[in-house]
Amino acid sequence: MTALKVETPLAITMWDFSWLERRWPGAGYEDWDQALDELCERGYNAVRIDAYPHLIALDAEREWTTKPPWNQQLWGAPAKTRVQVQPNLNVFLRKCAERGVSVGLSSWFQKVEETGLNHIMSPQKHAEIWRRTLDSIAGEGLLETILYVDLCNEWPFQMWAPFFKPRRDEGFLRITYPDSVLWMEAALDALRQDYPDMPLTFSYVGMLKAEEEQKAFFRSAFDFLEPHVWMCHANQDEFYSRLKYSYQLFDSSGYESLVEDAENIYRADPAYWLRLQESHIDKVVAESIELNQALITTECWGIVDYKDWPLLDWGWIKELCANGTRHASASGRWAAIATSNFCGPQFVGMWRDVEWHQNLTSTILSGALPEL
């Protein structure tokens, strides 16, 4: 195992593919210096971004036309836009390095009009695109800025990993399915041949729930666990089941249901939902202890989808996220903790509350690292 290079827990946030795609006036990332200065002002010292490894492997400096995965969410662009990964990635990394901000690399494998993902049809190819990405960073002397590599966001969810084709139909794919484990093992082994000192993982949603015979793999092949943990998924998605929310991507009905019922459901019994959240976090903690792994979480703690929208208030979201952040920090199991998955300048109602962020990042930064 390769240890994360952290001396105290990091306050991390997810800037996904937004850092590169949301660069039109008012989108939040058009001025990286301003965005990063605001990040540091709020007390954060790490970010997780999409490095677009599949595009770097094909042509790092080509301009590509993105096809958005949604038009309702504020992550990335809600309509097609154009991106050039390098040299922009290295420019952004250098600005992070100048501010002492560590960077976790991941990929949502954003689709583009000019090509598909046919060049990632094996775990060895999956490793190869990441090797080329790290080579392009190392060539500019920026590798020390990289905190870790997450080979695929929320593996093996088909929205983000459509190139992964299991040999048999297993319905909704879990990270612990046999074909998934075989792919991860081969990809991690291949990438470690060239980058043995880089901490590696695959992020996922919730808990691993590994079978007994799989636990040795997750103890040794992963350098840490990166679960994405939300209250709304606790107790078999109880909150979203009551809300009848179903992740609508291209129509506003999901946000209309949030307006009608989400805060009302929470406010009817906030103590219940906070206890449910804490119990869910405790289960993740117990799994990390059993597997002797540190945790990093960059997407969390209340509900998955939210934004600035008529009749949606950030107060109850901040309440949930503050409770989750403090509960996670108190466990001493996290090497890096996010305050929510809305911690970016495009979420104005969340971002502008500087004191809220500072209070929570102070808690994170003063916490304890896990003893492994």
pLDDT at 3: 87
pLDDT at 173: 72
Q: What is the CA radius of gyration of the chain?
A: 19
Cα 190 from Cα 127, distance rounded (Å):
6
CATH topology of domain 10-365: TIM Barrel (3.20.20)
CA–CA–CA angle 359, 362, 367 (5° rounding): 130
- Can you tell me whether residue 12 is helix, strand or coil? strand
Q: Are strands 82-84 and 63-67 parallel, antiparallel or unpaired?
A: antiparallel
Cα 218 from Cα 233, distance rounded (Å):
22
pLDDT at 138: 98
Each domain of the chain, given as residue ranges in start order, spans 10-365
| Low-confidence residues in the chain, pLDDT < 70 | 168-172
pLDDT at 364: 98
Per-residue pLDDT tens for 106-158? 999 999 999 999 999 999 999 999 999 999 999 999 999 999 999 999 999 99
Say what percent of the chain tops pLDDT 90: 96
pLDDT at 213: 94
Name the phi and psi angles at 333, rounded to 5: -105, -5
Cα 221 from Cα 214, distance rounded (Å):
11
Per-residue pLDDT tens for 291-306? 999 999 999 999 999 9
